[in-house]
Amino acid sequence: MSSPTERRPPEAQADQLVRDILKAAQGWAREAPPALMPAVRAVCVRLGEMVADQRNFFAPLPGPQEAERAQVLELVARRLASAATTEGLEQQLSALTELELKSTSSWALVPSAQGEWVSTAVQYLEGCARDVPADQRPDPYWADDVVAGVIASVRAVMGIDELHARTEAQYPGGRRGTGEQPVQEEEE
């Protein structure tokens, strides 16, 4: 039995994160009509890849922790894109890839492209819903809700919201990375 302070290797951390993301994908897919489940799972996998591949947007950590986090996130992104994870979703992921290439060539690096990709994911799910018989279609805003929920779930699994809160507390006013204390403005 390992002690509570014992660190798990990056591979084990990445495996757990991927399991948690896939569990979130299953949860969101369960909310959709059965015909839309693969599309929802594919969107969750792709958004998970996108979030994991935002390594450059995380607040900096001390050297060894930063290196470990980068390794874990790289492993998560690779494992989410692996054949083992995407089995059975090839058609949906191919359709998403086609849409991504048309609308956002660098969704993992450019913030505006990430926003466009989120819109693309919503449009993709809405398009999939149009192919479902009318009596099985979800409500008009279900795709927005699913994409927002998937993003929130994946960000929570990855610990991004916690990191953002710590960063904001550590670097008031959005100043970071200079190594200097923020300058206090004088009150008039």
CB 15 within 8 A of CB 79: yes
pTM score, whole prediction: 0.74
CB 89 within 8 A of CB 42: yes
With a pLDDT cut of 90, the percent of the chain lying above it is: 25
- Where does the chain show beta strands of DSSP type E? none
User: Does pLDDT of 186 surpass 50?
Assistant: no
pLDDT, residue 36, reads 93
pLDDT category of residue 66 using cuts at 50, 70 and 90: confident
